[in-house]
Structure 1
Amino acid sequence: MRSPLATRLAEIIFAGAIGFFGVLHFMHVDLMSGMIPDHMPGDGTVWIYITGGGLIAAALAIIINKLKTPACYLLAIMLLIFVFTLHLQPALEGNPGSLLKDTALAMAAIIIGNRSSK
C-alpha cells in the first residue's frame, strides 16, 4: 500500500539534506573552492556560490512543491556534472565515495521529479 504522506515526508527530508549541502557551500567557500579543477574558467569561489545557490533553490522547490520537476532534473544534471568533473578521478584512484553519493542523489532527484505533477 502506498502512503502519500510517507513519500512527501521523504521528499522533504531529501530536500533538507540538499539544502544543507547548499548552506555548507556558503559556509565553507574557501575550503570548497580548492576542489574546483584548474580547467574550470574563473575563480573557484564563483562556482561554489553558483552550485550552493542551485542546491538551495532545488531544495526550496521540492519543499514548496512548485517547479519541482524542472528543479529536480536540473539538480540531477548538476550532481552528474559533479560526478564527471570532480569525483571520477578520485573514484578511479580507489575513493568512490563521493561519486557514489552524488550519483545516488541524482537518481533520487530524478525519481522525485518524475512523481511530481507540478
Structure 2
Amino acid sequence: MDNATLSKIGTIFYALVIGFFGINHFVYGTGMQRMVPSFLPGGVFWVYATGTCLLLAAIAFLIDKQVRLAALLLTLFLLLIVLTVHLPAVLNAPDNNARRFPLTNLIKDTGLAAAALLLAARRS
C-alpha cells in the first residue's frame, strides 16, 4: 500500500475519533461543563462550542477541504485544553488514584494534538 493510501486511511480514522469526541460533547454536555475552567463564564456553552469545533474539524478531514487550517486549529484547541483543563486537574488531584483520569486525558489530548500537527504538516 502506498503512502497516499495509508495517509488517507489514517486521516479517516482520525476524523472518526475526533468526530466521536465532538458528539460526546453534545451527549454528555451537562456533565462535561464541570471541566470548563472557572475563569470562563458560560459553562456548558463552551462544551457545545468546542463540540461543534471538533465536529467541523472531523468533517473537514473527511471531505478533504481546509484540512491544514482545521488541523492547525485543532492542534491549538487541544493544547489549550491540555494546559487549562487537564494539567491543572493533574496538579490539583489529591492523590495518585484521583490523578489517573486527568493524566490519561492529558496524554490522550497531547497525542491527538501531535497527530493533528502531523496532518497539518502533510498538507503544506
Q: TM-score higher than 0.5 here?
A: yes
Worse overlay, 93-102 or 49-58 = 93-102
Counterpart amino acid of residue 13 in structure 1? F
Please tell me whether residue 47 in structure 1 is matched to residue 50 in structure 2: no
Shift of 1:2: 4.3
Q: Give the secondary-structure state (helix, strand or coil) at the position aligned to 1:39.
A: coil
Shift of 1:90: 2.6
> Equivalent residue for 1:18?
18
Shift of 1:97: 0.9
Extract unaligned runs of 5+ from structure 2: 94-98
Pairs within 5 Å for 1:22-101: 22-41=22-41, 43-92=42-91, 93=93, 94-95=99-100, 96-101=103-108
Identity %: 39
TM-score where L is the length of structure 2 = 0.87
Q: Quick one: distance in 1 between partners of 2:4 and 2:46?
A: 36
C-alpha offsets along residues 44-77 of structure 1, whole Å, 9 cap, x if unaligned?
1110111000000000001111000000000000
Shift of 1:111: 0.4
Q: Give the secondary-structure state (helix, strand or coil) at the position aligned to 1:24.
A: helix
Structure showing the higher helix proportion among its residues: 2
Q: Quick one: distance in 2 between partners of 1:54 and 1:71?
A: 9
Q: Quick one: distance in 1 between partners of 2:104 and 2:113?
A: 14
User: Is contact 1:91-1:97 (8 Å) kept?
Assistant: no
User: Is contact 1:76-1:110 (8 Å) kept?
Assistant: yes
Counterpart amino acid of residue 16 in structure 2? G
> Equivalent residue for 2:121?
114
TM-score where L is the length of structure 1 = 0.91
Q: Quick one: distance in 2 between partners of 1:47 and 1:76?
A: 17
Q: Give the secondary-structure state (helix, strand or coil) at the position aligned to 2:35.
A: coil
CA-based RMSD of the aligned residues comes to: 1.4
